[in-house]
Structure 1
């Protein structure tokens, strides 16, 4: 593998500069701003995750390119507003990776202590630039809800605010389920369902299960089995009684076990 040079990304940066040129660029690209592009950035990150989930390396290469384009797009908009340029982004992340890996690039802790040291350095950096003194500072509000719940819980756990074992979390899940069932209004139901989901994320964390990955897996399973039901029933599927659909669901489950 050849060593990458800083110039390797420049053809893409040049394309984006042409697209954003106020006189000769693409009208759609010119009118975009950070807020309008942000949803695409999030979408591309999920498409990268989807390609990895499917173990599709050709798709992964393509999706990583789309995600890289997002970095270049945001950087170009920032440069046009005199905030920072693409090279500043590259320099910044390079310095950060070296700084946070003293066990690799310096004379820091032993290699096996690397992750713990990463967290210590990260917390110190956050304390220097973050005016919010809370242990929860820096957990982005725009994160997917399950991921943010997990990060909030992990931050709180570092302060000692955590269940001592999985039994306490399991009991909390059951308690929250009871409160959902007892809710009398729509606002109460929404509030209690949120508490239940938060408790389930906590349970997943204690079981060392990634809640986002678990839900993606459940979504894929439902998608797969529902399509199998439709295939078995054909065009008549929507009109079938619920009992017949349940029987098809059980057949779809059984078919997976056989395979």
Structure 2
């Protein structure tokens, strides 16, 4: 069911390292540029790509990713186009894992059954839908699993041992551990605390546990990688993209490389950190 995702973690384990997961927003700052970035991520070192589905009210995201979503929507990005962008990537890369990340509203409007069929056909491997708790599994999680699309759940510092089994019950692909309380990009995590949290979650599940939120540079990535199965970077990539735009917020000749060059640096950081015995 989660072939590409499972394979990505297997490759990383074979190399005694964590997997590197990158987050970028579909359609940001425009569709052509976003497609070029998407295509460049695997070559730069991404094992799995989280592809953001733009939404007008992204409550879990910090200012950088909120702005990225609004740029994408202003440029005309839609959920249909996002699925087409994944299908376009699959013409040149059939091995990188692709996970769509976002909120339920656009999927609900699209139609769950049609969305899952189209996502599977496009080459989507998994979903992270941050505003659907386990109590709402019948809405999307269970249909996704039935359709052969992984449903990846978030665990946070406030997810205690009593809550964790409910969170993990129908989770597949991997578990995404949010290393800080709050919104994306808000702070830098305490890496020792994060490693302990990952170890606690792994006592409850055989799934890989990846860590995101607050990883900003290669040093952070290496520190997280020592105690986790994967490292997620998103806000830092969005910030690099934004810094490359012109005064009107349009892409420049530097935009694609601004993202892929940083991905290469971060990937090197992840690969420089051999896994600890605990991980």
TM bin (shorter chain):
under 0.3
Q: TM-score, normalised by structure 1?
A: 0.24
Q: TM-score, normalised by structure 2?
A: 0.22
Higher relative contact order (CA 8 A, sep 6+): 2
Q: Which has the higher helix share?
A: 1
Q: Which has the higher strand share?
A: 2
Q: Please tell me whether Structure 1 or Structure 2 has the larger radius of gyration of its CA atoms.
A: 1
